[in-house]
C-alpha cells in the first residue's frame, strides 16, 4: 500500500458554498482548473489507476478564513468536515482518514 498523506480536496457541498461565498472569484480561479480537487469521481478514477494507492484527505487552499467572513467560517468548516467524513465513510478503501478543519 502507498499512503499519500495530506492530499487536498474540496468536498462537493463545501466546494459549492465556497464558490458562493468567495468575495474575489479570481482568488479561487486556480482551483477551478484542477478537477481532482472538486470532482470526487475524477479523483477516484485517477486513484484506481494505481493499485494500493490511498489518501489521507485535507481541505485544499484557500484557507476557510480567506473565503468566509468570521460569521460564516465556523459553518463552512463544519460543512468541510462533514463532507470529508462522508467521503471517508463511503470510500474507506481509498480514503482511510481525513484531517479536520
pTM for the model: 0.89
Give the Cα separation of 67 and 73 in Å (integer).
Answer: 8
Nearest to 12 by CA among 84, 99, 72: 84
The answer to whether 76 and 15 are in contact (CB under 8 A) is no
Q: Per-residue pLDDT tens for 18-69?
A: 888 877 677 677 778 889 999 999 999 999 999 999 999 999 988 898 888 8
Give the Cα separation of 84 and 78 in Å (integer).
Answer: 10
Please list the residues that pair with 8 across neighbouring strands: 58
Amino acid at each position: 500500500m502507498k499512503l499519500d498523506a495530506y492530499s487536498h480536496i474540496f468536498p462537493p457541498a463545501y466546494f459549492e458554498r465556497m464558490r458562493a461565498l468567495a468575495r474575489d472569484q479570481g482568488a479561487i480561479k486556480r482551483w477551478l482548473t484542477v478537477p481532482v480537487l472538486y470532482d470526487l469521481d475524477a479523483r477516484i478514477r485517477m486513484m484506481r489507476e494505481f493499485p494500493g494507492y490511498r489518501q489521507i484527505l485535507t481541505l485544499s487552499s484557500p484557507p476557510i478564513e480567506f473565503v468566509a467572513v468570521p460569521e460564516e467560517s465556523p459553518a463552512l468548516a463544519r460543512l468541510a468536515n462533514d463532507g470529508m467524513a462522508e467521503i471517508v465513510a463511503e470510500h474507506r478503501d481509498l480514503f482511510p482518514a481525513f484531517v479536520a478543519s
